[in-house]
């Protein structure tokens, strides 16, 4: 039985017709290895940014439905052109958008989650020997409404397709040669990891490492889909394999360091210290589809019997977060201000090896102290420690932590094109 390989190419990989021709060669190479191939592609280059700009020129607050209708057109161009390029090289290829296949999502615009994928059409075309090219980033509801999956949606599309088709693995092609111990633009001698666990990759992704989106890693972990992060420019380099921790040998307590500059800190002041208040606050944010990251609640003040609740959200969600909280203040009895700080960054260390290694946290805190970096919030998990610091100190923190945990390589990382901003 032929193995199925799912490949995903981002916007920079299909930015123009020459790059599309190169992607076609990469796809055909996998086909010639004796595998069935399903390819997921994003919109060309900066198409999505251009479409968003046009929408904002027409309306300061366009509806979610119409934005999804607009943004979903970008992938339609990419898949058709790539199918043409593959056909021009003598191979049978066919392109499909989400509606044609049946990539079913919940009825939420701009951040929809996949709930099912119809595989009949995919399997029939694979039986016919065709290379299948699928539009990433988009889905369709039961009543036929077009949706988009939000940031990192094409990665999620690819992994979900790999799971639905029981694929051998999902290859994510990027501008870098794999997953590094940190951003190679910040630390040029960052080490490329040969392999990393789902758990570590998920924590790094949540911490700001933008090579893979957390949702794609979550899906891969749930369905046990091996992922390989590879370079679009160096096809002989196998990149980084993402797999279950039980299959790995762990040599160091820390696998990587990441910084997330897209966070904003919010403090709701003078909140009544009584049961149910936090539940109401965070339920309100959940209903607004706002994800919360770090949370700290202060000790209650004896005189007023109030405390402060601080947390972080993605900066893009800041306006609707503040609006929701201002509307909620009277209901929960909060008498203080809603304070906002956008001058912050989350710096994290991640590693499955820190579970059984005492002293990792103290080393992190001592290193930041030696650099004169003040820690404003702390959160931990079994394999991650995150500190909130001033934004202008984030890169210095990353470099210092990368050094103290001995993550450097003797080689300078080779980065082609632009990495996502972190």
**pTM metric for this prediction:** 0.79
Domains of the chain in start order, with CATH, are 4-249 (3.40.1160.10)
Contact between residue 175 and residue 229 where contact means Cβ atoms under 8 Å apart: no
Which of 341-374 are b and which e, b meaning 16 or more Cβ less than 10 Å from the residue's Cβ?
beebbbbbbbbbbbeeeeebeebbeebbeeeebe
Q: In what order do the strands lie in the sheet with 146-148?
A: 114-117, 103-105, 138-140, 146-148
Place of tokens 């998920």: 202
On the question of pLDDT at 274 being above 70, the answer is: yes
Question: Residue 133: what are its φ and ψ, rounded to 5°?
Answer: -115, 120
On the question of pLDDT at 369 being above 90, the answer is: yes
CA distances for 348 relative to 283, 381, 385, 413, angstroms: 27, 11, 6, 21
Helices (H) and strands (E) in the chain, counts: 12, 20
Of 82-86, 335-339, 415-419, highest mean pLDDT: 82-86
Helix (H, G, I), strand (E, B) or coil at 128: coil
Least confidently predicted of 177-191, 312-326, 339-353: 177-191
Where is pLDDT greater, at 176 or 171? 171
Q: What is the mean pLDDT of residues 34-54?
A: 93
Place of tokens 């059984």: 356
CA–CA distance, 114 with 228 (Å, rounded to integer) = 21
Q: Could you tell me the pLDDT band of residue 419, with boundaries at 50, 70 and 90?
A: very low
pLDDT for 416: 52
CA–CA distance, 136 with 142 (Å, rounded to integer) = 18
The predicted-structure confidence for 186-226, as pLDDT tens digits, reads as follows 888 888 899 898 989 988 887 877 788 888 999 999 999 99
The residues facing 295 across adjacent strands are 311
Q: What is the dihedral of CA 96, 198, 363, 265, to 10 degrees?
A: 40
């Amino acid at each position: 039985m032929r193995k199925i390989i799912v490949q995903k190419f981002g916007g920079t990989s299909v930015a123009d017709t020459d790059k599309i021709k190169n992607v076609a060669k990469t796809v055909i190479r996998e086909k010639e290895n004796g595998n069935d191939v399903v390819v997921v592609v994003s919109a060309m280059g900066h198409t999505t940014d251009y479409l968003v700009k046009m929408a904002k020129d027409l309306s300061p607050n366009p509806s979610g439905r119409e934005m999804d209708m607009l943004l979903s057109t970008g992938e339609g161009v990419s898949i058709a052109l790539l199918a043409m390029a593959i056909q021009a090289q003598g191979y049978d290829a066919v392109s499909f958008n989400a509606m044609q296949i049946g990539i079913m999502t919940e009825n939420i615009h701009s951040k929809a989650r996949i709930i099912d994928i119809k595989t009949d059409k995919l399997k029939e075309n694979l039986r016919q020997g065709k290379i299948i090219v699928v539009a990433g980033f988009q889905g369709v509801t039961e009543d036929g409404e077009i949706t988009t999956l939000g940031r990192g949606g094409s990665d999620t599309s690819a992994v979900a397709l790999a799971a639905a088709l029981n694929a051998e693995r999902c290859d994510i092609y990027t501008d870098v040669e794999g997953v590094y111990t940190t951003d190679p633009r910040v630390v040029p001698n960052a080490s490329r990891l040969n392999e990393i666990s789902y758990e570590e990759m998920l924590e790094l992704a949540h911490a700001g490492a933008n090579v893979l989106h957390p949702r794609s890693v979550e899906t891969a972990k749930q369905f046990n889909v091996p992922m390989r992060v590879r370079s679009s420019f160096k096809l002989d380099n196998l990149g980084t394999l993402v797999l279950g921790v039980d299959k790995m040998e762990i040599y160091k307590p820390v696998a990587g360091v990441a910084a997330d500059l897209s966070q904003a800190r919010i403090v709701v002041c003078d909140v009544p210290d009584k049961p149910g208040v936090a539940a109401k606050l965070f339920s309100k944010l959940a209903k607004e589809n706002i994800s919360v990251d770090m949370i700290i609640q202060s000790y209650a003040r004896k005189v007023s019997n109030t405390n402060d609740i601080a947390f972080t959200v993605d900066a893009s969600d800041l306006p609707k977060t503040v609006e929701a909280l201002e509307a909620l203040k009277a209901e929960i009895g909060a008498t203080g201000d809603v304070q906002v700080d956008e001058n912050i960054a989350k710096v994290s260390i991640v590693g499955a090896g820190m579970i059984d290694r005492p002293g990792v946290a103290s080393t992190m805190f001592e290193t930041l102290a030696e650099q004169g970096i003040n820690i404003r919030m702390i959160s931990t998990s079994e394999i991650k420690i995150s500190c909130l610091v001033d934004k202008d100190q984030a890169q210095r923190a990353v470099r210092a932590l990368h050094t103290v945990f001995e993550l450097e390589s003797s080689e300078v990382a080779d980065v082609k094109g632009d990495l996502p901003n972190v």
